[in-house]
């Protein structure tokens, strides 16, 4: 089946990340040099590496690991495997991780990694070889104290296990805290796999209170049915909302009366796609974004909501499960139209928050139960939402700029307190 191109024109995520930064930094009294420092990444590693394929040939792949900032602590951020990965995309994603961690108050800086590959074209053995070789190449930067990767688009717990094992083989002892999002059997945390979706659910419920939208029967549309989109969808459904539209890389489905997301998950697991689900109309990813609903959850990739389609979006709340789904021009249009956006650096911070819990548990070798994880996650997400909302009201800005103001202020202050070395 062919993948459906979602937007024809790719926007440059690094330009967008910097524009978002500039918009918020204008509200803060930051020294010009520190501001410039925060507009740059700290270090960038490009690796070109060989992988032995099943047919005996050797293919060269290109990957990146970028640290945007490490002022508040070790850098943290996922690794994505995707054919469209670029250095600028990884830079933007690393910068977003810095602001995300600062928004929810985690003692981390921001990083991101990526490999230019469509993992669906690789066998399991090839995927393992690629992962282990990439992990070896970036182990120059990776460590439990320095930089801790995690899953992102097209990577999962099994891939994190290979990274942990590769790093541990080189060190000569098992080092669980070098990566998060691992399987439970090797130091993963309960609650991690659905944590991003759970955070999306908590912040969405908070936004619905602000907007006075009753949860019962509220219509939800979700773009993306991966780790984030699927968990957000069934958790919002379990909270009483009705999921009416959902899509994956092949296209979307719509049923104004709603789906049972758990049944849809079982169906998609069997068939590999949501398409063809009984009783639903097929829609394109583009049409999906414009469906009538109360809440739209973009949970795929960057640059989906642009100046072009923003005027036609019908949702009252946009909960950004994905990183960077909305361009700054679209932000302005939607803000003017009164749409409430829960920005990515707040909305999807549940994943890195439980990654932090996982790292803490691994370092202490003392594990918590699921109730404790989910309660602490709820506390952090709800408190952060309310803190951002109050900045937003005080400064009369939108939620994204409010979150950025708070995050940038934290990192800038820490930079000044530490001082510029030497």
List active site positions.
112
Structure tokens at 294: 């109360």
Output the smallest distance, CB 79 to ligand GLU, in A. Answer: 8
Q: Which residue lies nearer to ligand GLU by CB, 150 or 407? A: 150
Q: Which stretch binds ligand GLU (CB under 6 A): 71-79, 170-178, 259-267, 280-288?
A: 71-79
CA distance 253 to 66: 36
Does the protein bind ligand GLU through residue 194 (CB under 6 A)?
A: no
Q: Which residue lies nearer to ligand GLU by CB, 100 or 129? A: 100
- The distance in angstroms from the start CA to the end CA of the chain is 56
Q: Which residue lies nearer to ligand GLU by CB, 251 or 343? A: 343
Q: Is 100 left (phi over 0), alpha (psi -120 to 50) or beta?
A: alpha
Output the smallest distance, CB 221 to ligand GLU, in A. Answer: 21
Output the smallest distance, CB 171 to ligand GLU, in A. Answer: 21
Does the protein bind ligand GLU through residue 76 (CB under 6 A)?
A: yes
Output the smallest distance, CB 242 to ligand GLU, in A. Answer: 27
Judged by CB under 6 A, the residue of 323, 384, 401, 415 near ligand GLU is 323
Task: Decide if 150 contacts 79 (C-beta within 8 A).
Answer: yes
Q: For 244, how many CA atoms within 13 A lie in the half-sphere containing its CB? A: 18
Does the protein bind ligand GLU through residue 180 (CB under 6 A)?
A: yes
Q: State the Cα angle at 152 between 149 and 154, rounded to 5°.
A: 125
* Buried/exposed 350-373: b ≥16 CB within 10 Å, e otherwise: bbbbbbbbbbebbeeeebbeeeeb
Residues 11 to 40 in contact with ligand GLU, rule: CB under 6 A? none
Q: Which residue lies nearer to ligand GLU by CB, 196 or 398? A: 196
Output the smallest distance, CB 178 to ligand GLU, in A. Answer: 12
Q: How far is CA 368 from CA 192, 363, 377, in A?
A: 12, 13, 13
Which of 259, 192, 256, 191 shows the shortest CA–CA distance to 225? Answer: 259
Residues 348 to 377 in contact with ligand GLU, rule: CB under 6 A? 348, 351-352, 355
In the complex, which residue's CB is closest to ligand GLU?
78
Output the smallest distance, CB 380 to ligand GLU, in A. Answer: 14
Judged by CB under 6 A, the residue of 150, 208, 243, 334 near ligand GLU is 150
Which phi and psi (to 5°) does residue 116 adopt?
-80, 100
Q: Which stretch binds ligand GLU (CB under 6 A): 37-45, 70-78, 234-242, 277-285?
A: 70-78
Task: Kindly write down the DSSP assignment for every residue of 78-146, as one continuous string.
Answer: -EEEETT--HHHHHHHHHHHHHHHHHTT-S-EEEEEEEE--GGGS-HHHHHHHHHHHHHHHTTT-BTTT
DSSP type of residue 224? -
Does the protein bind ligand GLU through residue 188 (CB under 6 A)?
A: no
Q: Could you list the residues that contact ligand GLU (CB under 6 A)?
A: 76-78, 100, 150, 152, 180, 323, 348, 351-352, 355
């Amino acid at each position: 089946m062919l993948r459906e191109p979602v937007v024809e024109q790719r926007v440059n995520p690094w330009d967008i990340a910097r524009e978002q930064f500039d918009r918020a930094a204008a509200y803060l009294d930051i020294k010009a040099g520190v501001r410039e420092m925060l507009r740059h990444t700290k270090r960038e590693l490009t690796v070109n590496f060989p992988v032995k394929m099943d047919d005996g040939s050797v293919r060269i792949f290109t990957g990146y690991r970028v640290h945007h900032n490490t002022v508040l602590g070790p850098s943290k951020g996922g690794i994505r495997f995707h054919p469209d990965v670029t250095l600028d995309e990884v830079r933007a994603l690393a910068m977003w991780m810095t602001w995300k961690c600062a928004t929810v108050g985690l003692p981390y800086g921001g990083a991101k990694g990526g490999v230019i590959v469509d993992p669906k074209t690789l066998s399991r053995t090839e995927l393992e070889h690629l992962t282990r070789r990439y992990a070896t190449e970036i182990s120059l930067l990776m460590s439990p104290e320095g930089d801790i990767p995690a899953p992102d688009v097209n990577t999962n717990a099994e891939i994190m296990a290979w990274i942990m094992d590769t790093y541990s083989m080189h060190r000569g002892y098992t080092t669980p805290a070098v990566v998060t999002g691992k399987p439970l059997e090797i130091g993963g945390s309960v609650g991690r796999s659905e944590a991003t979706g759970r955070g999306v659910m908590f912040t969405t419920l908070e936004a619905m209170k602000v907007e006075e939208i009753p949860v019962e029967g509220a219509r939800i549309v979700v773009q993306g049915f991966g780790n984030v989109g699927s968990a957000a969808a069934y958790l919002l459904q379990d909270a009483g909302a009705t999921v009416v539209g959902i899509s994956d890389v092949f296209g979307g489905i719509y049923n104004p009366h709603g789906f049972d997301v758990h049944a849809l998950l079982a169906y998609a697991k069997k068939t590999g796609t949501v398409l063809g689900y009984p009783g639903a109309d097929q829609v394109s990813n583009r049409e999906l974004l414009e469906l009538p609903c109360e809440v739209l959850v973009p949970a795929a990739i960057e640059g989906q909501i642009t100046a072009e389609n923003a005027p036609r979006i019908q949702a009252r709340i946009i909960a950004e499960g994905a990183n960077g789904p909305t361009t700054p021009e679209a932000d302005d249009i939607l803000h003017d139209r009164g749409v409430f956006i829960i920005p990515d650096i707040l909305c999807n911070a549940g994943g890195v928050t439980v990654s932090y819990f996982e790292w803490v548990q691994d370092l202490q070798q003392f594990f918590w139960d699921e109730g404790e994880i989910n309660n602490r996650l709820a506390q952090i997400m709800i408190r952060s939402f309310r803190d951002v909302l109050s900045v937003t009201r005080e400064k009369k800005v939108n939620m994204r700029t409010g979150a950025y103001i708070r995050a940038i202020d934290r990192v800038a202050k820490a930079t000044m307190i530490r001082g510029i070395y030497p």
